[in-house]
Amino acid sequence: MEPIPDRHTGDAPTAVVAKRVDRGSADLTEITELARAAGYEVTASLSQARDQDPAYHFGEGKADELAALVAREDADVVIIDNEVGPYQTFNIGSKLPEGAEVVDRFTLILDIFGQRAQTRKAQLQVELAELRYELPRAEVKASLAKRDERPGFMGLGEYDESRERDIKAQISRIKDELDAIAETEEKRRERRRESGFDLVALAGYTNAGKSTLLRRLADDLAVDENAERHPDLDSTAESENQLFTTLGTTTRRANTGKRDVLLTDTVGFISDLPHWLVESFKSTLQSVYHADLVLLVVDASEPVEEMREKLVTSHDTLYERNEAPIVTVFNKVDRLGDDELRRKREALSALAPNPVCASGLTAERVDELRARVEAELPDWKRERLLLPLSDETMSLVSWVHDNGHVDREEYDSQQVDLEFEAPPSVVEQARSRAADLDHEATAESAESP
């Protein structure tokens, strides 16, 4: 049994965490943090290295040891850092003291998601994940409910033969609503691009420091939260040291130099997530998949092997659907020396050939990150327009300043000579408006005596 720091307050429900691995030693750090993020007070832990037992997941002797530990700690729940089948859950639960529950890794994660879901979109995604988790277990739970003598054990309740049909109908309804939300968000992204904004997404594991980097890069004073064209800009982006602080998306405006950028922070990745859970949150990940640039944030203070594993998993998730360039950011460099950072860069060069090294906390080398963002974004077009001098022309010039970067602006008594760089969509709009101005000027000239 591994010792757990004494954090007992008497207010939170208590938990024992447990994990089985096929071989080697089990690391319970993450599941302990997940349990605390869900509101549990972890008082003890237990692990075992052996092949999975079909009846108890652990060996039966270890299941007895786990039950004794739960009894000794008077714990409310045992949290198992594995995916445990319904029959295994029932068998383990039958050994526990009256009132103690069994929760597996994915049930715990869904619990955290449910607690953090604030928006309608986040709530729908949590509900979808819960239903997908429940669907293949509906029949098994039915048979277990008939055998269970303790009311409410595992929350099984009475079996309803229509439950599976209800689950499938609910999944279909939620997917339709999420598709409608995704369509609205895609239209919003296009409006932003047409307004001259580049879309940059922050991706990476929980606690990699994405929210801290967002706060460091964000240009708070430039954001008008009530502006009509930015209806979802959040006033704050939390950077607490806990998992899943950011469940939905947080978007803020940043200025990297010439470019106006909208940065979006999304829910953090976490290891060993099954496909059905990632799929349930693909609506949130659309902000990543449809970005102009992705910043993959990695905690550089972690061991090399852990960084490698997270980079591989992140690449699997991102490259499946993402078409934008990906820049790896080694964050938290304030926590390690130059020699250690150099060794990690060399060791991970195949996965991160040219990372940006920075610290969101101290702002160390953040300017290099800004410059890299600007360099990696899609190329702007250069344009030169000769415009007739008029009030409408001045309005167009002002609009180009807002949506691009003006390199030269010269006036004479008849016209304005304007040279600028801007996204292709802005250049096309400027050309169209300039053509209208030329047409109006020509018509007015023809009508003059």
- What count of residues does the chain have? 449
382: number of Cβ within 10 Å: 13
The CA radius of gyration of the chain, in Å to the nearest whole number, is 28
265 annotated as a binding-site residue = yes
User: Binding residue per annotation — 403?
Assistant: no
Q: Is 359 annotated among the ligand-binding residues?
A: yes
**Phi-psi map region of 154: left, alpha, beta (phi>0 left; psi -120 to 50 alpha):** left
Q: How far apart are CA 290 and CA 197, in angstroms?
A: 13
267 assigned to a ligand binding site? yes
Q: Is there a binding annotation on residue 367?
A: no
207 is an annotated ligand-binding site residue: yes
- Known binding residue 209? Answer is yes
The reply to whether 333 sits in an annotated binding site is yes
255 in a labelled binding site: no
Confirm or deny that 334 is annotated as ligand binding. yes
Q: Is 210 annotated as a binding residue?
A: yes
Q: The dihedral of CA 107, 112, 115, 118: what is its sign?
A: negative
**Is 246 known to sit in a ligand binding site?**
yes
- Sheet bearing 326-331, strands edge to edge: 250-255, 260-265, 197-204, 293-299, 326-331, 356-357
Burial of 310: CB neighbours in 10 Å, binned 0-12, 13-18, 19+: buried
Q: Does residue 258 have a known ligand-binding role?
A: no
Tokens of 245: 């602080």
262 marked ligand binding residue? no
208 annotated to bind ligand = yes
Q: Is 331 annotated as contributing to ligand binding?
A: yes
- The reply, when asked if residue 381 is annotated as ligand binding, is no
Give the tokens for residue 415.
């016209």
* Binding-site annotation: residue ranges for GTP: 204-211, 265-268, 331-334, 359-361
* Binding-site annotation: residue ranges for Mg(2+): 211, 246
* Binding-site annotation: residue ranges: 204-211, 246, 265-268, 331-334, 359-361
